[in-house]
Structure 1
Amino acid sequence: MSSLHTFDDSHLLSLLENSNANAFDVLYNRYWDRVLSLAYRKTGDLMEAENIVQDVFVSLWKRRKSLKITSDFSNYLFISVKYRTLKFLAKKASARSISLDLASDLLDNSTQEYLEFEEIRERLEILVDKLPEMGRLVYKMKSEDKSYKEIAAELNISEKAVDAHLLRARRKLRVELGSFLGCFFL
Structure 2
Amino acid sequence: MGGLHTFDDLKLLSLLQNGNASAFDVLYNRYWDRVLSLAYRKTGDLMEAENIVQDVFVSLWKRRESLKINGDFANYLFISIKYRVLKVLAKRASSRSVDLEQVSGLLGDSPQEYLEFEEIRERLEMIVSKLPEKSRLVYQLKNEDKSYKEIAAALNLSEKAVDAHLLRARRKLRIELGSFLGGFLL
**TM-score, normalised with respect to structure 1:** 0.52
Q: Which amino acid aligns with 1:18?
A: N
1:61 corresponds to: 61
Counterpart amino acid of 1:46? Answer: L
Structure 2 alignment gaps of length 5 or more? 100-186
User: What is the CA-CA distance between 1:95 and the residue it aligns to?
Assistant: 4.0
Note if 1:29 corresponds to 2:34: no
- Identity among equivalent positions (%) equals 82
Deviation at 1:96, TM superposition (A): 4.5
Deviant stretches of 4+, over 3 Å: none
CA distance in 1, matches of 2:89, 2:12: 32
**Shift in Å, 1:94:** 1.6
Deviation readout 1:80-139 (Å, 9 max, x if unpaired)? 00000011101111244369xxxxxxxxxxxxxxxxxxxxxxxxxxxxxxxxxxxxxxxx
Gap regions ≥5 residues in structure 1:
100-186
Backbone CA RMSD of aligned residues: 1.3
Larger Rg over CA atoms = 1
CA distance in 1 between counterparts of 2:32 and 2:95 reads 28
**Residue 44 of structure 1: aligned partner:** 44
Q: Give the TM-score, by structure 2 length.
A: 0.52
**What does 1:35-184 align with in structure 2 at a 5 Å threshold?**
35-97=35-97
SS at match of 1:66: coil
- After superposition, give the CA deviation of every residue in 1:7-63 in whole Å (9 maximum; x if it has no partner): 000000000000000000000000000000000000000000000000000000000
Measured in 2, the distance between the counterparts of 1:57 and 1:68 equals 15
Q: Residue 20 of structure 1 aligns with which residue?
A: 20
**Matched residue type, 1:24:** F
